[in-house]
């Protein structure tokens, strides 16, 4: 037995068996070379937060809260894409449906403790934008959330909602406190930039308290970007 054969661990749980040409006059001999597998190959890439995806289907015989269903939770990049690729694009949903992506533990409703004093940056889309912009705006919003794109202010973000509506679809990023001016201004700037909303298009931030108690069709803006 050569000294080389002595250092080979056999059987090796994870190795590649290969034929190595030895001296020409001898036949090829099988040896086992330990394969070094990088952790990158089998460890999923963790996200900073765990997220929950919710679905809302408008059934008028039920209350608003009863129409809201949790689809699934994830906390890795791979599981995010697995879920994203498994569900319908927003533009294929029936009118009246919503998706919401919120941090685990925060319900996608005004009543949650982390939303009660909060508000939302609202992007309203024209009917034509369902075809051209809706799905890519929503995906970019999701990537901003799971990728923690809001620098020091990502903690202020609670989640995002997409409303598919005949009158015009909406995408909103919800934050936790409408008094946190610095956080809200920064988040609004990032959303506008990442979605590629032209500078001349103004987006508004409204408190949930105002939205929940509005009387007309519009809610006054607390901030604009």
* Residue ranges binding ligand MGP (CB under 6 A): 64, 109-111, 163, 165
Whole-number minimum distance, CB 190 to ligand MGP, in Å? 23
- If the CB atoms of residues 50 and 170 are measured against ligand MGP, the closer one turns out to be 170
- If the CB atoms of residues 84 and 110 are measured against ligand MGP, the closer one turns out to be 110
Report DSSP letters for 81-142, one per residue: HHHHHHS--GGGSPTT-EEEEEETT--SSTTSTTTTT-EEEEEE--TTHIIIIIHHHHHHHH
Whole-number minimum distance, CB 180 to ligand MGP, in Å? 20
Q: Which residue is nearest to ligand MGP (CB)?
A: 109
Helix axes 77-86, 135-146, angle to 10 degrees: 160
Strands 157-163 and 98-103, bridge-based pairing: antiparallel
Whole-number minimum distance, CB 99 to ligand MGP, in Å? 12
Whole-number minimum distance, CB 78 to ligand MGP, in Å? 30
- If the CB atoms of residues 60 and 86 are measured against ligand MGP, the closer one turns out to be 60
CA distances from 21 to 7, 29, 114, 138, 191 (A): 19, 7, 67, 56, 60
Cis peptide before 11 (omega within 30 of 0): yes
Whole-number minimum distance, CB 198 to ligand MGP, in Å? 23
- If the CB atoms of residues 93 and 109 are measured against ligand MGP, the closer one turns out to be 109
- If the CB atoms of residues 109 and 195 are measured against ligand MGP, the closer one turns out to be 109
């Amino acid at each position: 037995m050569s000294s080389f054969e002595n250092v080979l661990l056999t059987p090796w749980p994870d190795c590649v068996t290969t034929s190595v040409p030895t001296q020409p006059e001898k036949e090829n001999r099988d040896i086992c070379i330990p394969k070094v597998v990088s952790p990158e190959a089998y460890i999923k890439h963790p996200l900073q937060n765990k997220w929950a995806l919710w679905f809302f289907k408008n059934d008028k015989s039920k209350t608003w809260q009863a129409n809201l269903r949790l689809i699934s939770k994830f906390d890795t990049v791979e599981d995010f894409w697995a879920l994203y690729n498994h569900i319908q694009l927003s533009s294929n949903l029936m009118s009246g449906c919503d998706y919401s992506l919120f941090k685990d533990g925060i319900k996608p409703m005004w009543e949650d403790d982390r939303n009660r004093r909060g508000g939302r940056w609202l992007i309203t889309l024209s009917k034509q934008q369902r075809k051209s912009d809706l799905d890519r705006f929503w995906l970019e919003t999701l990537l901003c959330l799971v990728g923690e794109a809001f620098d020091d202010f990502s903690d202020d973000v609670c989640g995002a909602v997409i409303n598919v509506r005949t009158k015009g679809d909406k995408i909103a990023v919800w934050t936790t406190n409408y008094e946190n001016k610095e956080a809200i201004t920064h988040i609004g700037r990032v959303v506008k930039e990442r979605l590629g909303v032209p500078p001349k298009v103004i987006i508004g931030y409204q408190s949930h308290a105002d939205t929940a108690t509005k009387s007309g069709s519009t809610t006054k803006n607390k901030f604009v970007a």
